[in-house]
Structure 1
Amino acid sequence: MSLPGPLQFGSLTVDTPVVLAPMAGVTNAAFRRLCAEQGAGLYVCEMITSRGLVEGDQHTKDMLVFDEAETVRSVQLYGTDPVYVGKATEILCADYGVAHVDLNFGCPVPKVTRKGGGGALPYKRGLLGEILEHAVRAAEPYGVPVTMKTRKGIDDDHLTYMDAGRIAQESGAAAIALHGRTVAQAYSGTADWDAIAELKASVDIPVLGNGDIWEAADAIRMVEETGVDGVVIGRGCLGRPWLFRDLAAAFAGDTVNVLPNLGEVTDIMRRHAELLCEHMGEERGCKEIRKHIAWYLKGFGAGGELRRTLGLVNSLADLDEMLDKLDRNEPFPTSQLGAPRGRQGAPRDKVVLPEGWLDDADGRGCGFAENVSETSGG
């Protein structure tokens, strides 16, 4: 099978068919810039709530920050009310110059699903269609494509992805991304690529695959096994933004075999911290880099005391002093290749849902609050 060419979302062309998944507290403007410096693709802002944007919530507006080099602005929107989602989509297009809006129907976080949002919402087929139609209609005058991301379903007994694909296509969505896990699985177990292939075979709009892409070779294998038009990268790039360099090369038909040594990783880590400080100020930026340091150093032999000190860094000068203590010649730990990164956890015995949510798959079930923060992109 030949490799897919550029992604086409309506009028938007993404030269390399790779999308950075929104991740709360991770995919801010600094991280998106860092990833974009490594390779081509589409880099999505942290998920925001439609109600928060419409009502002018300051925290929501603070998340809508874009780097000066960010020529294509992409935002993921969460919502359970069609009217609010439509209004929020219009605000993003008219006031923020957004070129792509993605709707989140995949988040597995309990405080989201208990309100009927995220990965729980596609069970309500009528509501899903209404939300998509409102968003597509609001974005149409601006020529902005609307896509959606979802999961297989709530659990193995309540699968929704095939209906979701049909509804997305009928509603005018430009593409659909599928994470090959259920809400009950969260991030545990193995992603079901067969489900991704089944969805791809059932719709005419582009399908993107998500789940268990840890190396560029995994992305190519997913394309070969499922026929997807592109891939969505989430946890695989944590502490490894150069994965986008490898992906760009792989989709161009080349192979990147040079793994960064600790010195090269250190330079990328320092660049990340610098960008965070540029966007947030030095104090907050240094606090933000702390969680990333553990991901960057995973598998390397840096001592426990140095790791602990790095985890408390509060200035760029201190960071530079501590990074100088690392062995720049230490090779990349090959034990980490293909290994899961970020959260994994255990599957859930029961997904938290609104009372009576499963009684009627065709109902609307909306009216739940959307005051949700610090959630993943699914």
Structure 2
Amino acid sequence: MDDGVRGRAVAALKVGAIEVWPPVVLAPMAGITSAPFRALCREQGGGLFVSEMITSRALAERNRKTFAMIRFAEGEWPRSIQLYGVDPAVVGRAVRMIAEEGLADHVDLNFGCPVPKVTRRGGGAALPYKRDLLRAILRAAVSAAGGLPVTMKMRKGIDERHLTYLDAGRIAVEEGIAAVALHGRTAVQHYGGEADWEAIARLKEAVTEIPVLGNGDIWSADDALRMMARTGCDGVVVGRGCLGRPWLFRDLAAAMEGSAERARPDLGEVARVMARHAELLVESFGSEPHGIADFRKHVGWYLKGFTVGAETRRGLATAASLEELRERLAELDHTQPWPAAAEGPRGKSNPRDKVLLPEGWLDDTRGGVVTEESDVSGG
């Protein structure tokens, strides 16, 4: 394999005072990266595992649902929270709470979310277009962090005519951000098309003072090695690639240690991981119906590529209890080997026709416009 990376030539990732090995970050995903899923991934391999996106206003106002979303498993370290916000004062207040109350060890700021309910308020991937507002938010967050490392995740820009990532990267350095991550897509692409790894390389060339992480189209550990070799990035951010594949973190650890060993679980091992995942969700929710219902969206991802009948799939996706789920899992052919068709993309992939933005948002790149921030977390 010509991956360009051998053995421990891959260095640990330094995020402020936190050393991350392997240099891998679990991307925040709404409804996915709760404490149970993070625990499942951590059981497979190391890295930095980030919470679901939390709205800074909801945290500052001590919203009950939001506080439930920032629960961490016993022994989970470093504890990482991703914040979304559009108002520097509110973001600063939320970060100060995190630091002073010991709610987490690391704060990541979201400037990459492309969903309409975020961008239409000027947040997520829309916000870096307003350079002064971006700077104000970063300055407020770093000032309030009390020594906790603050990082940021972003996209290339709104679309190809409104690219922001190089300016945003330089602003991040100037304002004391500890690391930047770039998803090599624009907001209008959503998750469609191919990620632009060359943009990650350009950002790495422009930003040399702090680590640059690459994100987009990492479906396997070998993809991560190729990205690092091609772009020079200091680490990778993995999102949809681990849906139904928590053992990807085992592969990433092996690959970055220089090992060619990769996890190729048969359907029996996949079934055991599915059961474990459901059990963790039930334990976290404190409710079997709620935990099982939350697990249903994962079934198709776990079974991708395996030969499983439609009736059996429906039974797994509609199981009403852990006992019923285990009975359905027992019906699977546990000897079925890992199929080639199991590789490749998972999750949403369609591009959008346009990005919803506040009126007049694109008229001026400098204006520090602040729109009303959502009080609901989850992205």
Q: TM-score, normalised by structure 1?
A: 0.96
| Residues 258/76 of structure 1: CA separation in 2 closer, same or farther (3 Å cut) | closer
SS, match of residue 222 in structure 1: helix
**How far did 1:48 drift?**
0.4
> Hey, what does 2:334 align to over in structure 1?
328
Partners of 1:50 and 1:371 lie apart in 2 by 8
Match of 1:292 in 2: 298
Residue pair 2:13, 2:235 contacting (<8 A) in 1 also = yes
What is the deviation of 1:372? 4.4
Deviations 1:37-79 (A, max 9, x none): 0001010000000000111111111111111131210010000
Query: Which one-letter code corresponds to 1:235 in the other structure?
Result: R
Give secondary structure in 2 for the equivalent of 1:301: coil
Aligned to 2:269: 264
- Contact 1:220-1:251 within 8 A present in 2 as well: yes
Aligned equivalent of 1:176: 180
Equivalent position of 2:355 in the other structure: 351
Contact 1:111 1:372 in 2 (8 A): no
Q: Is the 8 A contact 1:210 1:232 kept in 2?
A: yes
- Structure 1 runs, 4 residues or longer, greater than 3 Å off: 371-374
Q: Distance in 2 between matches of 1:277 and 1:92?
A: 27
Matched, 1:314 2:320: yes
CA shift for structure 1 position 32: 0.2
Q: Would you say how many aligned residue pairs link Structure 1 and Structure 2?
A: 371
Secondary structure of the corresponding residue to residue 101 of structure 2: helix
Distance, in Å, in 2 between the alignment partners of 1:153 and 1:97 is 31
- 2:19 is paired with a residue of what secondary structure? strand
Contact 1:101/1:147 (8 A) holds in 2: yes
After superposition, residues 153-164 of structure 1 pair within 5 angstroms as 153-164=157-168
1:72-126 Cα offsets, whole Å, 9 max, x none, are 1001000000011011011122224311100000000011111000000000000
Question: Take 1:4 and 1:193, find their aligned partners in 2: how far apart are those partners?
Answer: 18
Which position in structure 2 is the counterpart of 1:124?
Answer: 130
Q: CA deviation at 1:213?
A: 0.2
SS state at 1:328 partner:
coil
Deviations 1:197-256 (A, max 9, x none): 000011121000000000000000000000000000000000000000000110111122
Q: Per-residue deviation at 1:349? A: 2.5
Structure 2 unaligned runs (5+)? none
1:48 is matched with 54
Distance 1:290 1:256 in 2: 30
Counterpart of 2:326, as a letter, is D
**Alpha-carbon separation, structure 2, partners of 1:224 and 1:279:** 39
The whole-number CA distance in structure 1 between the counterparts of 2:305 and 2:165 is 36
Residue 239 in structure 1 maps to residue 208 in structure 2: no
CA contact (8 A) 1:110 1:352 kept: yes
Q: Secondary structure at the match of 2:226?
A: helix
Which residue does 1:86 correspond to in 2? Answer: 92
SS in 1 for 2:43: helix
Classify the secondary structure of the residue corresponding to 1:38.
Answer: coil
Contact kept in structure 2, 1:179 and 1:210, CA below 8 Å? yes
AA paired with 1:342?
Answer: G
8 Å contact from structure 2 (residues 247, 263) kept in 1: no
- Contact kept? 1:9, 1:145, Cα under 8 Å: yes
Partner of 1:277: 282
Amino acid at match of 2:20: V
Task: Note closer, same or farther for the CA distance 1:306–1:96 as it changes in structure 2 (3 Å cut).
Answer: farther
> Residue 70 of structure 2 aligns with which residue?
64
Candidates 88, 106, 109, aligned match of 1:103: 109
Match of 2:347? 342
Contact 1:33/1:69 (<8 A) preserved: no
Q: Which amino acid aligns with 2:169?
A: G
1:220 matched to 2:225? The reply is yes
Judge conservation of contact 1:80–1:370 (CA < 8 Å) in 2.
no
Q: Which amino acid aligns with 1:243?
A: L
Distance 2:329 2:151 in 1: 41
Q: Which runs of 5+ in 1 are unaligned?
A: none
More deviation, 266-275/94-103: 94-103
Q: Distance in 2 between matches of 1:284 and 1:94?
A: 33
User: 275-284 or 206-215, which moves further after superposition?
Assistant: 275-284
